[in-house]
Amino acid sequence: MTDEGRPPEDIRYLVPAALLHDLRTPLSHMLGYSEMLLDQAIEVGNADLERDLRKIRAAGWKLLALMDANFQPSRAVLVSDPESGAPKPDTRS
Amino acid sequence: MARILLVEDNEMNRDMLSRRLERKGYHVIIACDGEAGVAMAEEERPDLVLMDMSLPILDGWEATRRLKANAATRHIPVIALTAHAMSGDRDKALEAGCNDYDTKPIDLPRLLGKIEALLGPATAPKDSSGAPAS
């Protein structure tokens, strides 16, 4: 990872689609439940809880944006070249 | 009250999305796989179907094709839901007969807008404040 939290250029676009799907599913749960609780906190006027839930929701959407900005779904799998150590895509289906 | 059939195999997604839609005034019925979704759509004739695409037994694409091939259910609008965010997924869903497409995580106001667009504003429920659900 670079200092900005972005992966080095050579592993972009090589994250398998299945992995992205698996990462998005629990993130969906966290975002969905936090937003549902946020609605409830607003309804009952609990400002402290509302403030904290907004932080959780914002962090979740930020994580999603980072995933989408840094990884392009691909069927390719990153493996290391045993000779050079350089990453290369694995063409296994 | 508009009735929405949610076809979703993931228990947490089912629980979370059905509760959020019910809070917005929709009546939600649930099926846990594509085959059950097709059967329930034929039996219950919901106003709209929210169809997860990655389903067991019968996937969402094939379930949608069957709904659209059946004269009794082809008029029911189907919104595809998927955690995949690839550009080709949208085209694939529309080719299967879905009327619209959305991605997970769910952006509820956006999804409600799509639901309302397909159902028509007259059928949109009011939430607890009396405001339109979206």
CA distance A82 to chain B (A): 31
In a domain, A84, yes or no: no
Q: Residue A4: inside a domain, yes or no?
A: no
Q: Which domains does chain B have, with CATH numbers?
A: 3-121 (3.40.50.2300)
Predicted confidence at residue A41, as pLDDT, reads: 97
Q: Which pLDDT tens digit goes with each residue over A40-89? A: 999 999 999 999 999 999 999 999 888 877 776 543 333 333 344 444 33
Report how far residue B99's alpha carbon sits from residue B96's, in angstroms, rounded to the nearest whole number.
9
Q: Do B105 and A64 touch (CB under 8 A)?
A: yes
Predicted pLDDT at A89: 37
Confidence at A21, pLDDT banded by 50, 70, 90:
confident
What DSSP string describes A1-21? --TTSPPPGGGTT-EEHHHHH
Region of residue B115 (left: phi > 0; alpha: psi -120 to 50; beta: else): alpha
Task: Say what the pLDDT of residue B19 is.
Answer: 96
CA distances from B56 to A1, A41, B67, B126 (A): 36, 36, 17, 34
CA quadruple A51, A61, A22, B116: dihedral positive or negative?
Answer: positive
- The predicted model gives A31-46 an average pLDDT of 95
**What is the nearest CA distance from B71 to chain A, expressed in angstroms?**
34
Q: Which residues, given as ranges, of chain B have pLDDT below 70?
A: 84-87, 121-134
A38 touches B: beta carbon within 8 Å: no
How high is the pLDDT of residue B127? 57
Work out the average pLDDT over A12-22.
Answer: 69
In this structure, is residue A44 part of a structural domain?
yes
Structural domain including A36 reads: 12-79
Question: Structure pTM?
Answer: 0.78
pLDDT band, very low/low/confident/very high, at A92 (cuts 50, 70, 90)? very low
* Cβ–Cβ contact B104 with A under 8 A: yes
Q: Residue A24: its pLDDT value, please?
A: 85
Asked whether the predicted pLDDT for residue A11 surpasses 60, the reply is no
Domain count for chain A = 1
A28 touches chain B (CB under 8 A): yes
Residue A25 lies in a domain: yes
C-alpha distance from A71 to closest chain B C-alpha (Å): 11
What's residue A71's pLDDT? Answer: 74
Find, in chain B, the residue whose alpha carbon is nearest to that of A33.
B16
Q: What is the pLDDT of residue A81?
A: 35
Closest alpha carbon to B31 in A43, B43, B20: B43
